[in-house]
């Protein structure tokens, strides 16, 4: 009952907007809005520019969505705002550089990097988060621990790799032409891998028992615990998934953007938060969709504004969502008790 008043009031504010839209199922409504926007952009800027921006938006959307899944699961399952999550993306990208430097072929280096980051995420659970939970740490302690971990990760990377701009080492400058659209080979690869990964993750969450348990847990922890789910097991799997997907997201970002430095995680973090809030906290499908919406909005915005304002679109969406729809586009107001 702690936040009843706040929830009530935000509900009241949100209800003006949502009651008008409540008649339609949310995913259909969202799809309709996106298609209308795309049509408007096609009319205003011509099909080539609009579709090019859309393809770029899917690339950005895939790494944003995959990155946001871990954030939303950790937030839903552990009630932890993981400020260090962006730095897990960075860790994944730099692990790839490390393993490639050690002699692994690039695809294998990427896979090893994802496994290593998953192991690292699990290690943070054992070393940091589990003991804090057992000590019934307050929210300030959790926030500060997450911030501390983020600093340690980012600057450990920077300590060894330096702050200069790097690439993953597979800089192919060729591009593919699909009709009038052009896509860098690496971007195309990132797009294919990203979209397939999103589909696979969606299927795993939907059909495997661990996926179902994780969603149940993130949705309503008390209920899930009563129904006899092994809590610590779910938490461990959540961290492993969070680390693995964070690394995948970081590698996709590094591949698609081409060059990066250890600060890209903290820069990307707010977009990840935006995708999380957009999709509804604790809802991994929501995070995927939220990521796509953020990616598309950012790339579409480049048709209207200078591209340097791209990150600002993510911030703006985050703030607007928090103010008017804190439950997310698919969320409904929950009774708290």
Residues that bind another protein (CB under 8 A): 1-10, 12, 75, 79, 81, 128, 131-133, 135-145, 147-156, 158-159, 162-163, 270, 273, 277, 308-309, 311-312, 315, 318-319, 322-323, 326, 332-335
Structural element, H or E, at residue 181? strand 181-184
| Pick 69 or 318: Cβ nearer another protein | 318
Q: Which two tokens stand for residue 280?
A: 């509804």
* Overall residue count recorded for the chain in this entry: 337
| Pick 103 or 308: Cβ nearer another protein | 308
Q: Using alpha carbons, select from 43, 94, 124, 99 the residue that is nearest to residue 250.
A: 94
Task: Please state the closest distance from residue 309 (CB atom) to another protein, in A.
Answer: 7
Task: Please state the closest distance from residue 304 (CB atom) to another protein, in A.
Answer: 15
| Pick 130 or 236: Cβ nearer another protein | 130
| Pick 154 or 215: Cβ nearer another protein | 154
| Pick 101 or 159: Cβ nearer another protein | 159
> Residue 78: left if φ>0, alpha if ψ -120 to 50, beta else—which one?
alpha
| Pick 20 or 135: Cβ nearer another protein | 135
User: What DSSP string describes 248-304?
Assistant: HHHHHHHHHH--B-TTHHHHHHHHHHHHHHHH-TT-HHHHHHHHHHHHHHHHHHHHH
Task: Please state the closest distance from residue 125 (CB atom) to another protein, in A.
Answer: 14
| Pick 153 or 218: Cβ nearer another protein | 153
| Pick 27 or 138: Cβ nearer another protein | 138
Q: Which residues of 79-100 are buried (b: 16+ CB within 10 A; e: fewer)?
A: ebbbbbbbbbbbbbbbbbbbbb
Whose structure tokens read 């997201």? 249
| Pick 211 or 280: Cβ nearer another protein | 280
Q: Which residues contact 74 (CB under 8 A, 6 or more apart)?
A: 80, 82, 85, 238, 239, 242
Task: Please state the closest distance from residue 95 (CB atom) to another protein, in A.
Answer: 17
DSSP state of 336: P
Q: Which two tokens stand for residue 178?
A: 């699909």
Task: Please state the closest distance from residue 83 (CB atom) to another protein, in A.
Answer: 8
User: What secondary structure, in 3-state letters, does 78-93 show?
Assistant: HCCCCCCHHHHHHHHH
Long-range contacts of 237-241 (CB under 8 A, 24+ apart): 237/210, 238/73, 238/74, 238/77, 238/78, 238/214, 239/74, 239/118, 239/121, 239/122, 239/124, 239/125, 239/129, 240/118, 240/119, 240/121, 240/122, 241/69, 241/70, 241/73, 241/118, 241/214
């Amino acid at each position: 009952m702690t936040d009843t008043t706040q929830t009530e009031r935000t509900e009241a504010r949100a209800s003006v907007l949502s009651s008008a839209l409540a008649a339609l199922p949310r995913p259909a409504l969202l799809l309709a809005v996106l298609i209308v926007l795309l049509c408007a952009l096609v009319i205003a800027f011509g099909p080539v520019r609009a579709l090019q921006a859309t393809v770029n938006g899917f690339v950005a959307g895939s790494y944003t969505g995959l990155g946001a899944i871990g954030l939303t699961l950790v937030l839903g399952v552990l009630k932890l705002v993981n400020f260090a999550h962006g730095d897990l993306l960075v860790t994944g990208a730099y692990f790839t550089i490390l393993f490639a430097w050690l002699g692994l072929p690039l695809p294998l280096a990427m896979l090893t990097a994802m496994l290593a980051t998953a192991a690292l995420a699990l290690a943070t659970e054992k070393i940091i988060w589990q003991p804090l939970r057992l000590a019934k740490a307050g929210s300030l302690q959790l926030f500060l621990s997450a911030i501390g971990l983020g600093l340690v990760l980012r600057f450990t990377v920077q300590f060894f790799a330096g702050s200069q701009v790097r690439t993953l080492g597979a800089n192919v400058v060729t591009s593919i032409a699909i009709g009038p659209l052009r896509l860098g080979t690496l971007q195309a690869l990132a797009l294919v891998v990203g979209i397939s990964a999103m589909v696979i993750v969606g299927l795993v969450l939907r059909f495997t028992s661990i996926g179902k348990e994780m969603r149940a847990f993130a949705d309503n922890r008390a209920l899930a615990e009563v129904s006899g789910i092994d809590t610590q097991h779910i938490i461990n799997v959540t961290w492993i998934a969070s680390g693995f997907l964070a690394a995948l997201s970081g590698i996709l970002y590094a591949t698609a953007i081409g060059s990066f430095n250890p600060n890209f995680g903290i820069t990307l973090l707010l977009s990840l938060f935006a995708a999380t809030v957009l999709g509804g906290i604790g809802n991994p499908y929501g995070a995927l969709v939220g990521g796509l919406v953020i990616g598309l909005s950012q790339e579409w915005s480049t048709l209207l504004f200078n591209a340097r304002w791209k990150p600002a679109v993510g911030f703006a969406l985050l703030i607007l969502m928090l103010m008017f729809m804190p439950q997310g586009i698919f969320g409904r107001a929950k009774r708290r008790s």
